[in-house]
Amino acid sequence: MKQVLQDLSNGETLVEDLPAPAPRPGHLLIRTSASVVSAGTERMLVEFGKASYLDKARQQPDKVRQVLDKIRTDGLGPTVRAVRSQLDRPLPLGYSNAGVVLEVGAGVTGFVAGDRVASNGRHAEIVCVPANLCARIPADVSDETASFTVLGAIALQGVRLIAPTLGETVVVTGLGLIGLLAVQILRANGCRVLGIDLDPARAAIARQYGAETCVPSAGEDALAAAARLSDGRGVDAVLIAVASTSDEPMHQAAQMCRQRGRIVLVGVTGLGLARADFYARELSFQVSCSYGPGRYDPGYEEGGHDYPFGLVRWTEQRNFEAVLELMAAGQLDTTALVTRRCPIGDAASAYGELAGGSPLGIVLTYPGAVADAPLTRRIELAPAPAAASGQACLSVIGAGNYASQILLPALRAGGAALRVLVSEGGVSAVHGARRQGFAAAASDPAEALRDAGSNAVVIATRHDSHARYVVAALAERKHVFVEKPLAIHRDEIATITAAVAAARAGGFEPIVMTAFNRRFAPQVVRMQALLAARAAPKCLVLTVNAGEIPAAHWTQDRNIGGGRIVGEGCHFIDLLRFLAGSAITRIDAHRIGAHPGLAVREDKVTLVLEFADGSLGTIHYFANGHRALPKERLEVFCGGGVLQLDNFRRLRGYGWPGFTRMNLWRQDKGNAACAAAFVAAVAAGAPSPVPLETAIEVTRASFDARDALDAGR
């Protein structure tokens, strides 16, 4: 299928052939019939992509601060690679789509295959969209008109925040797509409307919709026009729908308003507010958030949890439905908003118009599908590598940030033959596959699990899928490299061990390696060698400046990410287990106490580990620190000596004859060595570099720690 992407490194618009996305629970799989290019939002992306690195930095000062912090903690090299990787990843464009439902994901009600729906899907022939971001199209609304639904919902949400009443006077500043849709919605509410724009053509369209207009570029006075509309009393409200860095739109809006008038910002403008503008009139100001309640709430959008109708009358989805009802009633007309219709294959030329002119609405059209044509979920990119005897031939499920930046290059450098790369939407799979030399890209994990040319599968997906894919790979008689954690629930461990036993009973001795990379870091390997020479128990103290993650983030959800102790803390448990060189016999967990304003979660804890040889380990895992402090610091006390490791860059020894320091030019957490060890083991038919029994021991210890926190012990 074809999809429109943006190259953020240079601003180039691409139309790529990608595998069709696979259906997901809670989602609808939709074949697109029309989508609208949002001139304002998408022009900003094009301009950002074309900007120099310096200009990109100026536009994102918060990101610059993060980059500077990362340089201080991780070094220049890793930071530069991370920034380049982010800019190198293509960005899917579009968010206002109409099409026909092909498949209904598990758990979805209210939709069936064949429904015509509007959604916030991308510019792509096939899209997979959460059901709460879809709405059924009335029979008398065309696909082209319905493709404006999401844009209409943005305008509608801004109008709802204004809360207009019959007969009020409202100014709309900026007559782009959102502004012109807002004009019509306000007119449907019985308001008198003044539209302001520098473009006479856009003002003319607003007049068609019943608004009075003002064109400052033609010498017309906006304040005078607002005074005339309001009979000199000041307008009731102003909706700002412009994209500008100037503070003038806000200043002008305040001057137009009556006492206790309302100002709502839908677009982007300077926010250097003058107190004098707002004080005397007691004006209210609010920023509108996209389509309405539910936006950016993972529980609503991805989880499918609707808000109670009686408490949240207008959600994103219900705003979509209201816009479609206005279209069906003839109160929202999009005919005059269409500047150009363009086949998706020619989308690059349409985006060229955004950079060089000021089109209003560009509608992308899509070719009709052959009835019952199967969807292609795998694309061949290069001849399949001819695997040498004893070579690791890998397929990879997951192409996110970590996989793209670190794991895939490490696997390639380790000498593996790369077969199939899978990502959920297909975009990152194709991009990563081309970068790293995979033979194919796919959107369906089955393509990796069943690939006849692969003898191993690498799993780099969200944590809740790890155990499931491990078991599926073993059933296909493939070795497994799985990112931590191995599992997030106890019953998954039993399922994995049963699958391993079944494979062995069938004559296949599988390698199942959990990617506990820190034990492969060169400085940790040196520490382990030094400690092995002393037969005394060890005291290990690890401090982790974990960083705050929002409560709604998937890693905090125990059914998706396992929570932070299982999802990430297992790394640190394994590190101490490796250096102690002895089995874990007990683990205790202590959580920070309750305090006003401080979230009491499992990310501010101290874990105490006891080992069979008498060693003692402590992990301080704290998310309430400052990001400028390096993330990890490890100290080991043993037999009159101390080893001190600072963030995998500086290692110092005290009381170790012949060893004082081992410093690195750049941080090395062992990721490359970990991947290379797996590749070598598969090629040689050797045992897992991280024994499965040890990985299970560490995983169960993380479960014990989580249970201890829950029980308050």
Tokens 């539910």 correspond to what residue?
Answer: 294
The residue type found at 392 is: A
Q: Is the pLDDT of residue 372 over 90?
A: no
Identify which has the larger pLDDT, 628 or 153.
153
Give pLDDT tens digits for 16-30: 999 999 889 999 999
Least confident of 215-229, 375-389, 479-493, 651-665: 375-389
Q: Look at residues 287, 315, 349 and tell me which one is the last residue of a structural domain.
A: 287
Alpha-carbon distance 34 to 39, whole Å?
A: 16
Residue 9: the pLDDT is: 73
**What pLDDT band is residue 597 in, cutting at 50, 70 and 90?**
low
Whether residues 238 and 331 share a domain: the answer is: no
Whether residues 144 and 185 share a domain: the answer is: no
Residue 63: the pLDDT is: 59
Q: Is the pLDDT of residue 55 over 90?
A: no
**Do β-strands 116-119 and 97-104 pair in parallel, antiparallel, or remain unpaired?**
antiparallel
The H or E element containing residue 418 is: strand 417-422
Alpha-carbon distance 1 to 422, whole Å?
A: 16
Kindly tell me the sign of the dihedral angle through the C-alpha atoms of 550, 553, 559, 563: negative
User: What count of Cα atoms within 13 Å lies in the side-chain half-sphere of residue 284?
Assistant: 11
Q: Is the pLDDT of residue 572 over 70?
A: yes
The end-to-end CA distance of the chain, in Å, is 54
The residue type found at 106 is: A
Give pLDDT tens digits for 189-215: 999 999 999 999 999 999 999 999 999
Whether residues 303 and 395 share a domain: the answer is: no
Alpha-carbon distance 403 to 413, whole Å?
A: 14
Q: Is the pLDDT of residue 581 over 90?
A: yes
**Reduced 3-state DSSP string for 59-115:** HCHHHHHHHHHHHHHHCHHHHHHHHHHHHHCCEECCCCEEEEEEEECCCCCCCCCCC
Q: What is the mean pLDDT of residues 430-448?
A: 94
Laid out side by side, the sheet with 632-638 consists of 584-591, 604-611, 616-622, 539-545, 632-638, 641-646, 650-654, 661-663
Q: Which two tokens stand for residue 101?
A: 């439902």
Whether residues 558 and 667 share a domain: the answer is: yes
The residue type found at 125 is: E
- 80 located within any domain: yes
Q: Is the pLDDT of residue 602 over 90?
A: no
Number of structural domains, the chain?
Answer: 4
Q: What is the mean pLDDT of residues 402-422?
A: 93
Residue 575, SS3 per DSSP: helix
Residue 613: the pLDDT is: 96
**What pLDDT band is residue 650 in, cutting at 50, 70 and 90?**
very high
**What pLDDT band is residue 574 in, cutting at 50, 70 and 90?**
very high
- 292 located within any domain: no
**What pLDDT band is residue 628 in, cutting at 50, 70 and 90?**
confident
Q: What is the mean pLDDT of residues 564-592?
A: 96
- The closest alpha carbon to 514, from 555, 437, 564, 575, belongs to 575
- 374 located within any domain: no
Whether residues 462 and 506 share a domain: the answer is: yes
**Do β-strands 338-343 and 284-287 pair in parallel, antiparallel, or remain unpaired?**
unpaired
Whether residues 282 and 305 share a domain: the answer is: no
- 100 located within any domain: yes
Alpha-carbon distance 526 to 651, whole Å?
A: 9
The residue segments making up the domain with residue 339 are: 2-148+297-365
- The closest alpha carbon to 606, from 623, 594, 631, 582, belongs to 623
Q: Is the pLDDT of residue 58 over 60?
A: no
Q: Is the pLDDT of residue 67 over 90?
A: no
Q: What is the mean pLDDT of residues 564-589?
A: 96
**What pLDDT band is residue 243 in, cutting at 50, 70 and 90?**
confident
- 371 located within any domain: no
**What pLDDT band is residue 273 in, cutting at 50, 70 and 90?**
confident
The H or E element containing residue 560 is: none
CATH of the domain at 569: 3.30.360.10
Whether residues 318 and 229 share a domain: the answer is: no
Whether residues 169 and 112 share a domain: the answer is: no
Residues linked to residue 98 through DSSP beta bridges, in sequence order: 34, 118
Whether residues 233 and 328 share a domain: the answer is: no
Tokens 């590598």 correspond to what residue?
Answer: 385
pTM equals 0.86
Whether residues 643 and 543 share a domain: the answer is: yes
Whether residues 385 and 352 share a domain: the answer is: no
Residue 601: the pLDDT is: 76
Give pLDDT tens digits for 108-131: 999 999 999 999 999 999 999 999
Q: What is the mean pLDDT of residues 213-237?
A: 95
**What pLDDT band is residue 352 in, cutting at 50, 70 and 90?**
confident
Q: What is the mean pLDDT of residues 590-596?
A: 79
- 372 located within any domain: no
Residue 64: the pLDDT is: 56
Q: Is the pLDDT of residue 83 over 80?
A: no
CATH of the domain at 459: 3.40.50.720
Whether residues 417 and 430 share a domain: the answer is: yes
Alpha-carbon distance 500 to 658, whole Å?
A: 44
Q: What is the mean pLDDT of residues 168-178?
A: 96
Residue 601, SS3 per DSSP: coil
| Cβ-based burial of 393 (10 A; exposed 0-12, middle 13-18, buried ≥19) | buried
**Do β-strands 361-365 and 338-343 pair in parallel, antiparallel, or remain unpaired?**
parallel
The H or E element containing residue 428 is: helix 427-436
- 160 located within any domain: yes
CATH of the domain at 68: 3.90.180.10
Q: Is the pLDDT of residue 531 over 90?
A: yes
Residue 82: the pLDDT is: 59
Q: Is the pLDDT of residue 677 over 80?
A: yes
Tokens 């380790």 correspond to what residue?
Answer: 414
Beta-strand runs (E) in 555-689: 584-591, 604-611, 616-622, 632-638, 641-646, 650-654, 661-663
Q: Is the pLDDT of residue 77 over 90?
A: no
pLDDT above 70 as % of the chain: 90
Q: Is the pLDDT of residue 84 over 60?
A: no
Residue 6: the pLDDT is: 86
Q: Is the pLDDT of residue 43 over 80?
A: no
- 77 located within any domain: yes
Residue 632: the pLDDT is: 96
Residue 132: the pLDDT is: 96
Q: Is the pLDDT of residue 85 over 70?
A: no
Q: Is the pLDDT of residue 52 over 90?
A: no
Residue 627, SS3 per DSSP: coil
Residue 66: the pLDDT is: 61
Q: Look at residues 287, 322, 344 and tell me which one is the last residue of a structural domain.
A: 287
